[in-house]
Amino acid sequence: MLKKLGLFAAMIAFTAVTGAAMAFPDKPINYIIPFNAGGESDISARLQQPYFKKLTGQDLIIQYQAGAGGAQAWSVLNDQPGDGYTMMGTNLPHIIMQPMLQDPGYKTEDLVNIYMFHFTPDALIVRADSEYETLQQVIDAAKAAPGALTVGGTATNTANHLANQRLADLTGAEMTYIPYTGTGATIPALLGGEVELLWGYTTVAAGQGDKVRMLAVAQDKRHPLFPDVPTFKELGIDMVGGAYRGIAVPSSTPEEVRKELSGIIGKINADPDFIAQMEQAGFAMLDIPYEEMDAFMAERKKLYEEIARQLGSLK
């Protein structure tokens, strides 16, 4: 009897092992979003959900673990089982800036990013009835009276804050940056006239339609949803960036599982329907698979360090 049971157990173990090798994933995957529901990280994860199911037959179970601007979740990621069934959203510049400025309980190198799948490009936005029609007008006005123009954005030492400093570095246009709690709070500030301009993302403009006007976006090419809005590059300003979103796994996750997951996210990213949905919402696609992650992270880190030093946040 005992022998039979042992054999049975071995059989199950065997099928489990080979099953895992043959078809990963064979059960639902937990996808932890380190922010509250309703934000860009949540929305893009929700858009991935059905494609993941279509591709693998398994569900993506989205959970939220918000706190400390994402740091609460990131600091415990490596305590999770590294079997490939737990992954977590990661955001840039957050995971580089936070450890650089204080001790959030994790280091940038601790997080094993397997894919960066999109970004929301920085965009300089004004109200539709604003006197500023072009970026050059803003730059001229800011140079004429340094610091007199107010520009809203999300929190301190964030993508928006860095973008403001980067523009000042490259053009000499100094504006006063006003931090708000979350993208949602910046929109009434712009529409209500509390600030003249807004550092936002293409997603903000996509949500507000003809009530706002984008002066420039920080992308390599123009965003398909806004063919009339120039890029900073076209205007001679070398700014490409924004808030990047990717996926990380616990550091105990084996190499082949990392690659497997990276491949699945890459396939979702290549689906034309997915791309159309993402771009309709204002996101910009990005493809940094696991293999190219180190180079990408190193490049961003160098840039952020430089700006943080100018901001005086980093000594």
Partner 1 sequence: MAVDFGFVLAQAFSPFNLLLAVIGVVLGTVIGALPGLSATMAIAVLVPFTFAMDPASGLIMLGAIYTGAIYGGAYAAILVNTPGTPSAIATTFDGYPMAKRGDGDLAMTLATLASVVGGVVGALSLITLSPLLANIALAFQSSEYFWLAILGLTLIASLSSGNVLKGLIGGAFGLILSMIGVAVIGGDTRFTFGSSALLGGIDIVSALIGLYCIPVLIDLVARPDRHLEPAPLGRGFRLFEAVGLCVGNGVNLLRSSVIGTLVGILPGAGGSIASLVSYSEARRASRNPERFGRGEPGGLLATESANNATVGGGFIPTLVLGIPGTPPDAVILGALLVQGIRTGPELFTQQNGIAYIFMFGLLIATLMMLPIGLFIGRYAYRFIVNTPKALLVPLIAFMTVVGSFAIHSNPHDVVVMVAMGVLGWLLGLAGFGPSPIVLGLVLGQIAEQGFMRAYMIGGARGNFGGQLLFDRPISWAIVALILVTLAFPVLRRLRRSREAGSEVRS
Site residues for partner 1 per CB under 8 A:
36-39, 42-43, 46-47, 49, 62-69, 71-72, 75, 101-105, 147-150, 155-157, 176, 178-181, 184-185, 187-189, 191-195, 207-209, 211, 277, 280-281, 313
Min. distance of Cβ 83 from partner 1 in angstroms? 19
Q: How many alpha carbons lie under 13 Å from residue 280 in its C-beta half-sphere?
A: 8
Min. distance of Cβ 42 from partner 1 in angstroms? 6
Q: Which residue from 245, 258, 250, 249 is spatially nearest to 291, judged by alpha carbons?
A: 258
Written as six digits, the tokens of 177 are 């940056």
Whichever of 182 and 254 has its CB closer to partner 1, that residue is 182
Q: Residue 119 belongs to what H/E stretch?
A: strand 112-127
CB contact at 8 A, 195 and 178: yes
Q: How far apart are CA 200 and CA 191, in angstroms?
A: 13
Whichever of 273 and 291 has its CB closer to partner 1, that residue is 273
Min. distance of Cβ 264 from partner 1 in angstroms? 20
Q: Which residue from 181, 170, 70, 69 is spatially nearest to 124, judged by alpha carbons?
A: 170
Name 57's Cβ contacts closer than 8 Å, sequence gap at least 6.
Answer: none
Whichever of 150 and 230 has its CB closer to partner 1, that residue is 150
Q: Residue 186: helix, strand or coil by DSSP?
A: helix
Name 38's Cβ contacts closer than 8 Å, sequence gap at least 6.
Answer: none
Min. distance of Cβ 236 from partner 1 in angstroms? 26
Min. distance of Cβ 288 from partner 1 in angstroms? 24
Whichever of 70 and 246 has its CB closer to partner 1, that residue is 70
Whichever of 177 and 290 has its CB closer to partner 1, that residue is 177
Written as six digits, the tokens of 74 are 């990131």
Min. distance of Cβ 206 from partner 1 in angstroms? 9
Written as six digits, the tokens of 160 are 């928006």
196 residue type, one letter: E
Whichever of 64 and 199 has its CB closer to partner 1, that residue is 64
